[in-house]
Each structure stands twice: as C-alpha cells, then as structure tokens.
Structure 1
Amino acid sequence: MEGIKITRCSWVNKDPLYISYHDNEWGIPEYESRKLFEIMCLEGQQAGLSWITILKKRNSYRNLFHNFDPYEIVKLDEENIQNLLIDARIIRHKGKIQSILNNAQCFINMEQNGEDFSDFIWSFVGKKQIVNNWTSPNQVPSETDISIKMSKSLKERGFKYVGSTICYAFMQASGLVDDHIKDCLCRNKK
C-alpha cells in the first residue's frame, strides 16, 4: 500500500479521533431528532474554538448533559449549572452552558406544538442532502442563504448559539450538506 496517497478534506489533522470523525460522521445524513439536537448543541459550544476541542470533550458533554436528552437537561438546576461552570471536562462558558438548557426547552416546546425537530431541520434542504462539488477548501462557504434562514427560524423559536455560521457548520456535520472536497476519500466512497 506504500505510495498510495489518501486525500481528506484539508481541515482534518492527524489526530485519530479527528480522522475517524471526518471519515465516519461528518457529512453523513442524520435524521434522528435527538442526535440532531446533540450536534446543534455541540456546534454552539464550538463558537470561537476549533472543532477538535469540542470533539475531544464530546463524551464529557454526553455524560454531563444526559446524552442530550432534552427532557433530562431541563431538570438541571442552579447547583448543577454552577458545577458545570467549574468542570474542566467541558467548555466553562456560562452562556454556552445555559444555551444547552435553553435549547432543550425550545426542543421540547417544538415537540409539544407537534413540530418534529428532524422534519423541521430537513425542511430547509427540501428533505434531501445538498451535495456540493468543491474542488478547493477555499470554495466552501461559512454560511449560505439556507443557513441564514435556518438561524432566523431557530432564533424565532427561542434557540441560542445558532447564528448562520454555526448553522452552516451544523448542516455540514449532520449531513444536510456534503462539503467533502471532490478528491476527498469520503467523496470517492459514494
């Protein structure tokens, strides 16, 4: 196998965790509402940071936030929040931590109003993955008209840390869009 060059999207470093995430998760369509909720929450935690930072803390987030079960998250009280703010296993940013609690309540409100989170999210792309044909990472946008609309709709429902750039990263991570560069091995798997 020596001499065979494996090409991945340029944002992937040599960390095995990052490689696994890129190869097995990023850009693969996710339809389960609670998994989509998790991805959205984690993308919000990334704001101003690199994704690998959040990825390395993802299991801690899952543990501390009840596997992103919104109905359990909303039960967290002020003492729980204070403990989270001093827990080095996650990003200790009050606004980001509170956004998870806030967004859990928003998720529940949507369900109680008969609105399925997955259906809502996938409606922005007509329930079909957008496959882009970028040849260079410089072509990949940080936001699109769709992510701007998604951000606005989420904010109207009360969600926090869902700006248009975060929404586009969420769309990439959850497979609403496939932004693997054309020569990436993940593009060539299809």
Structure 2
Amino acid sequence: MSEAEFTAYVQERRASLYATAYHLTGDRYEAEDLLQSALFSTYRAWDRISDKAAVGGYLRRTMTNLHISAWRRRKLNEYPTEELPETVGDTDAMRGTELRAVLWQALARLPELQRTMLVLRYYEGRTDPEIADILDISVGTVKSSIWRSLRRLREDEVLSFGRDQEESFGELVA
C-alpha cells in the first residue's frame, strides 16, 4: 500500500483520531504528541496491515498503549512525600495575596457594623441568627446590611467584585 493511501486515511479520520487522543490525555498538546506518535508507528507498519478496515482500531490501540507507557514512565519519576514542596514565585498564590489585600482595603471603606457582619458571615462562617445574637440586632437588619455591604463591594471600582465571587469571599479572607 502506498503513502498516498495512508495520507488520505489520516486526512479523512484526523478529527476522530485527535478526539480519541484528547480523551486519553485530557490535554491538547499531549493529545497532539500522542496522535503524532501513533501515526508514525502506524505508518511504519502500514504495509503489514492486511485489513485496512481495521486501521482505526489499530491506531486507537496504538494510542492507548503509547499513553499507558508514557504514564508508567512518568509514574516512576514521581514519588509521594509527607511534605509539599515550596512554591517559590507561584504567580497564582501572589494573585491571591494581592486580591486579599485589595479586599481588606475595600472592607476598611465599609462602615464598622457592615464590616463586622461580613467578617462574621464569611470569615467565621456564622449564620444570620448567630450574627444577630452577637450584635444584639434583628435578623432582618443582618440580612439587609449584608446585602448592602455586598452591593457596595460589587460597585467598588478597585475591587471589581463579581456576583460569583460572593461565595468565595470566605476563602479569600481565610
């Protein structure tokens, strides 16, 4: 069989083969590498494949075997430990720290009672009735004050506080 047949087969099935590779790896770049390796291996064996209708299965099996082999090699290089490695220069952690600082500045601009309610709710995880008991005010006052506080934070230009961030407020201040 010829190189032209192999090329035609790959062009016809490229999308489905890539989808298989992607589902195996879960990463676009790893999927491309895996598919490339499987195609190279299949191309070398093209003349020995007598049933061309089975090429799809052959390629998928090749991708699976290559992926398992790569996973096993990678597994040998990783050993679990009791301690986590230090993350020097972790930009995500730095962004979280910066966001926390901006959040505390925005909280400082709120009236003391509103700030106290937000800290009790999101930092300490208290319920509205618990906050009401602690501050000796009604539950309705707690609810409306927290609502107004969150609205002020959402409108804060520096913070740009979004609706989806309300739930993660407790994580940010912890």
Q: Give the TM-score category using the shorter length.
A: under 0.3
- The two structures have a TM-score, normalised by structure 1, of 0.22
Structure 1 or 2, whichever has the larger Rg, is: 2
Q: Which has the higher helix share?
A: 2
